[in-house]
């Protein structure tokens, strides 16, 4: 197994911003390939920008859609699979001691965590959009603030709870339409009250907020690749109307759907 230092990666890196123990860079793979199994000395977050990409890590397989974000603990072995169109990723690396420094409980950050649609993922995209135009001190301060946002999300997950995982899988398949807690609990084979408590304890947020994150991430992908009217995108992703879409999208992504489209289309 190869062990990579901060900043090393299998791919082309056209730009790189760094400050002490933090680095941000887009990574481009132009050709299909399968990288050898490797690990990074640093903790890192990858955000999918476009292309075809799959990863195996910790006996799990992850297929990345656009704006999928995944936290990787330091030293975890993983393998990358690049599809025929190639791939463009955003890589945010940092020394794990930075996470421990902002966590009062000194938790161990050893678990892969899906950050897709979280505020941390959108803040990372915002930092990338502006990195070329800001002063080094501004970059470093925003990067460190971002780590403070990632820390509570990256804590080791509670022990595996099959009912919570079943509920999560059901939501990923049905988030575009209205889903009740009764329906979700039936799919997870548990009582609705127990599910609400278990889901929040396991994933760190309510079922409602989790669904909104899924809708915002999926809507962001459609905003970046299509010219569909905002009202149509809102309807397709389960929002009541365009105004509701605007409010929820801005709450999670930090910008309006129209602003996001201008920057990422």
Cα–Cα distance measured from residue 26 to residue 37, given in angstroms and rounded to the nearest whole number: 21
Q: Could you tell me the CATH superfamily of domain 2-154? A: Jelly Rolls (2.60.120.10)
Cα–Cα distance measured from residue 152 to residue 115, given in angstroms and rounded to the nearest whole number: 11
Do 162-264 and 2-154 have the same topology in CATH?
Answer: no
Q: Could you tell me the CATH superfamily of domain 162-264? A: Homeodomain-like (1.10.10.60)
Domain range annotation of the chain: 2-154, 162-264
Task: Provide the H-helix boundaries in the chain.
Answer: 97-101, 119-130, 136-154, 162-174, 181-188, 192-203, 207-225, 230-236, 242-253, 257-264
Give pLDDT tens digits along the chain (265 positions): 567 777 777 789 999 999 988 999 999 999 999 988 999 889 999 999 999 999 998 788 888 989 999 999 888 899 999 998 899 999 999 988 887 766 655 555 677 888 988 888 999 999 998 998 999 999 999 999 999 888 877 765 555 678 988 999 999 999 999 999 999 999 999 999 999 988 988 887 899 999 999 999 999 999 999 999 999 999 999 999 999 999 999 998 989 999 999 988 7
């Amino acid at each position: 197994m190869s062990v990579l230092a901060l900043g090393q990666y299998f791919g082309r890196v056209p730009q790189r911003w760094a400050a002490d123990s933090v680095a941000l860079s887009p990574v481009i793979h132009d050709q299909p390939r399968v990288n050898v199994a490797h690990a990074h000395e640093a903790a890192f977050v990858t955000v999918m920008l476009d292309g075809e990409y799959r990863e195996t890590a910790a006996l799990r397989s992850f297929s990345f859609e656009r704006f999928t974000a995944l936290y990787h603990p330091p030293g975890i072995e993983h393998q990358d699979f690049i599809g025929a169109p190639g791939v463009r990723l955003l890589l945010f690396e940092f020394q794990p001691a930075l996470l421990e420094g902002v966590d009062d409980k000194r938790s161990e950050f050893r678990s892969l965590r899906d950050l897709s649609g979280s505020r941390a993922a959108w803040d990372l995209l915002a930092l990338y959009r502006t990195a070329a135009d800001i002063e080094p001190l501004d970059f470093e301060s925003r990067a460190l603030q971002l780590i403070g946002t990632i820390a509570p999300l990256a804590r080791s997950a509670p022990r595996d709870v099959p009912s919570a995982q079943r509920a999560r899988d059901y939501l990923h398949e049905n988030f575009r339409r209205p889903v009740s807690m009764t329906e979700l609990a039936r799919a997870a084979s548990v009582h609705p009250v127990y599910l609400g408590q278990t889901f929040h304890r396991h994933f760190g947020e309510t079922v409602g907020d989790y669904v909104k994150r899924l809708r915002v991430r999926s809507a962001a992908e459609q905003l970046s690749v299509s010219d569909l009217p905002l009202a149509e995108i809102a309807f397709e992703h389960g929002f009541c109307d365009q105004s509701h879409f605007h409010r929820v999208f801005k709450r999670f992504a930090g910008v309006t759907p129209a602003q996001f489209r201008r920057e990422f289309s």
